[in-house]
Amino acid sequence: MTICCNKRFNRSGVLFQGRFQSIHIQETEYLVNLSRYIHLNPVKAGIVNHAGEWEFSSYLEYAGLRPGTLPNIEYIKIQIESESIYQQFLLDHNLPNFTDFKKLLIDD
């Protein structure tokens, strides 16, 4: 795959360079808002009209609309009283400024 991509895009080297990077999130409110930000990315990008329409999203698990085993949603569920409240939380358009999340972006 690497050779194919390098030839196609006229580049060299490995596809995924550098070590894995992560950021420690200390505030619970920030974590819950970050979850909403992630689930709304496909909506904001205009790919879908509702977060539940994006097949690659874990939103349906968080909203209690689909059983799932991949995401561990227990920590978020402790912070939000019920799945219906999470659904309403996601639909709330009084979102924190998305630029607040830029500090979590990892630059190359």
| Reported pTM | 0.60
Q: Greater confidence, 106 or 74?
A: 74
- Among 63, 100, 43, smallest CA distance to 71 is for 63
Instruction: Give the pLDDT score at 17.
Output: 66
How much is the average pLDDT of 78-95? 74
Tokens representing 71 are: 């995401």
Q: What is the mean pLDDT of the chain?
A: 77
Please count the other Cβ atoms lying within 10 Å of the Cβ belonging to residue 42: 19
Q: Greater confidence, 52 or 19?
A: 52
